[in-house]
Amino acid sequence: MARTGQPVQRIHIPARNARVFSVSKGQFIKVIDAQGKQVADFFAFNDQDRSEVLSPTYTRSALGRLYLEEGKALYSNRRRPLLMVVEDPVKRHDLLFAACDPVRYREYGIENHASCQVSTLSALRERGFTPSEFPHPVNLFQNVEVKVDGSLSIHEPVTKAGDYILLRAMEDLLVVVSACPQDQNPCNGWNPTDVMVEVYGDG
């Protein structure tokens, strides 16, 4: 791993929950799949102007690809780089799917199911912030197959316990990570578990 020293923050995100935290420009964010086969919905806002938000759509456009790549950036809705992918041993993440929400679970016939949308908004309210429009996440560790006919298929993540991605903040950021609660398809191996985050560097 890159020489990052000791973490200055450690954030435990229990299964089916989200946590919010701040990082400074230049700090590293290590998102860890604690037990394996768990998706982490990742959201980031420019902490100096929170109308600027991490955008999978603009990231796909800027990269010209559907997958993240080491040494390449993640872009905002203003086509500016917000984060850099420093290390990515997993190399399987998703830039296509929206966060799960109450409507999605009602489609499964379930009311009052935990969702990334609800837990993320709850975490942001802890900072007194509610976005005017809910953003799309970068779905770390989510394993989505894009078929030749254009259809999408969700498979279990390829991650094992301790697998990670290491990002570097290119602006001061407000970040939310949700340990996705989806248990109605293979997204989390049918069994949502915990995510860990470590932040390194003085910024």
Q: Given CA atoms 186, 187, 192, 198 in this order, what sign does their dihedral have?
A: positive
| Cα 160–chain centre separation | 17
pLDDT at 113: 97
Residue ranges per domain, the chain? 14-196
Encode the chain in three state secondary structure. Answer: CCCCCCEEEEEEECCCCEEEEEECCCCEEEEEECCECCCEEEEEEECCCCCCEECHHHHHHHHCCCCCCCCCEEEECCCCEEEEEEECCCCCCECCCCCCCHHHHHHCCCCCCCCHHHHHHHHHHCCCCCCCCCCCCEEECCEEEECCCCCEEEECCCCECCCEEEEEECCCEEEEEEECCCCCCHHHCCCCCCEEEEEECCC
pLDDT at 4: 72
CA 42 to CA 59: how far, in whole Å? 13
pLDDT at 142: 98
CA 72 to CA 112: how far, in whole Å? 38
* Terminal alpha carbon distance of the chain: 18
Contact indicator for 10, 198 with CB cutoff of 8 Å: yes
pLDDT at 3: 63
pLDDT at 43: 98
pLDDT along the chain (203 residues), means of 10: 82 98 98 98 98 98 96 98 98 98 97 98 97 97 96 97 98 98 98 98 79
Residue appearing with tokens 């990082």: 23
Structure tokens at 11: 């954030």
pLDDT at 202: 80
